[in-house]
Amino acid sequence: MKRLQAVCFITGLGCALATVPAHAVDLSASGFGTLGYAVSGQPYNYQRFIDEGGTFKRDTVLGGQLDAKFSAEWSATVQAKVAPSLNNDEDWSLTASWAFVSWRPGNDWLLRLGKQRVPMYLNSENMDVGQTYDFARLPFEMYGISPSNDFKGLYVSRTWMPDLGETTLDVFHGEADLKARAHLRDAGAIFMPVCTTITGAVLTLKQDSSTWRVGLHHTVTRRRDGQDFPSHYPLSALAPLYRVDNAMPGSEPVGYTSSIVNDVITLGGDIEMAPNWRLVSELARNIQMRTENGANTAGGYVAVLHKMGALTPYVSYARLRSMGVSVQNADNLNAAHIPGDPYGLNYTQRAASDAIMVYDQDTLALGASYALTAQSKLKAEWARTRIGNRSATVDSPPGEEVVRRQRINVLSLNYSFVF
């Protein structure tokens, strides 16, 4: 199936390029990168890599982009990057963030076919290019909400120029193959291969030096191995344990679903409040359906930035919280155990609890960027994250209780550049 999808995708690009008139191709190349170091005051991993030993893996990325202009209407773009792998926690990988052909039939229309970024955030298109924004790290409480940041498919953009300001409507549809990560205390990190179908629309308004954005995204996620997702864990006959598979005794079967549906509503604004003062805020509500064991989150952040020549200090506050029954389900599974564990089932309860991606955290960050040149920035940030009930951003240590009611202080130093 994946080979057939790849053939269809390449064939579609080939057919599109076949209609391009034969002219000299105008090529341009650019590059970007961030060398980032982060260290926390805790022994366990936060955001996959950050702990008291320090790491370069959380924020370091190196990439390049090639643009080919065939005519006034037709062009193509490829952007590749080297960054920590999304398939495991050990490797680095070379992947394509962009690989699409563009057709602009007029000044107001733009169509793209290929691999692209989901236009969910204010910094979706440039999130890997740290030199383009002043944050040392884009707030996870917002930028970690999307089921996928990339997709392969069709993107249509229409622009108007009313008196109100430049208005753009983006509509897109496609698919993304990825691996969803969860960390189990008894088994370490696991990566589940999934395929997500994404459909969405985003409306953007630009007024002078301010930008407003609202978006609606609908996703359907299925496992690529053909298996179903567990959606409901009933009590077992061995109470207080829960049935996490139907091999355990009990009268009510485990609930399963072939797909998980997410509707994500986003609001964002980058507003010039006064000369050299900016207010940036993004909010999202991720409504997850067909399962009791999903993220189902509400999150966002607000930040104030003040430009003082080459120096731009900022302060931000971010919040991410899971809604509904998923938090209670995770807590119930974590608390379920029988003394002595004669059947070896306590492990299954902890594993099912850890696999539920629930969040309860907020982060206060103080930072600054300094423009060394027009193409490079040096950044520093101190952030303090408060973990409430629990958060899937934390890898709880093996054999211990879930990390909760703790503070994580993170110091980040970054050097970002473009060329």
Separation of alpha carbons 72 and 21, rounded Å:
10
| CB-count exposure of residue 176 (10 Å: 0-12, 13-18, 19+) | buried
**What distance in Å separates the CA atoms of residue 228 and residue 208, rounded to the nearest whole number?**
49
Q: What is the largest CA-CA distance in the chain?
A: 76
Would you state the pLDDT for residue 17?
46
Handedness of CA 189, 195, 201, 206 (dihedral sign): positive
Two tokens at 175? 């698919």
Q: What is the pLDDT of residue 24?
A: 83
Rounded alpha-carbon distances, angstroms, from residue 400 to 66, 252, 393: 48, 31, 16
Please give the pLDDT value at position 23.
60
Looking up tokens 């209780």, which residue turns up?
A: 401
C-beta separation of 134 from 377 below 8 A: yes
Residue whose pair of structure tokens reads 């108007």 in the numeric block: 160
- Domain range annotation of the chain: 2-418
In the prediction, which pLDDT does 4 show?
A: 41
d(CA 265, CA 285): 5
pLDDT tens for the chain, residues 1 to 419: 444 444 444 444 445 444 445 468 999 999 999 999 999 999 999 999 999 999 999 999 999 999 999 999 999 999 999 999 999 999 999 999 999 999 999 999 999 999 999 999 999 999 999 999 999 999 999 998 876 789 999 999 999 999 999 999 999 999 999 999 999 999 999 999 999 999 999 999 999 999 999 999 999 999 999 999 999 999 999 999 999 999 999 999 999 999 999 999 999 999 999 999 999 999 999 999 999 998 899 999 999 999 999 999 999 999 999 998 999 999 999 999 999 998 889 999 999 999 999 999 999 999 999 999 999 999 999 999 999 999 999 999 998 999 999 999 999 999 999 99
Q: Return d(Cα 147, Cα 181) in angstroms, integer.
A: 11
pLDDT at 259: 98
Architecture in CATH of 2-418: Beta Barrel (2.40)
C-alpha distances in angstroms, 89 versus 225, 357, 390? 21, 18, 21
Write down the pLDDT at residue 12. Answer: 47
Structure tokens at 140: 């996870």
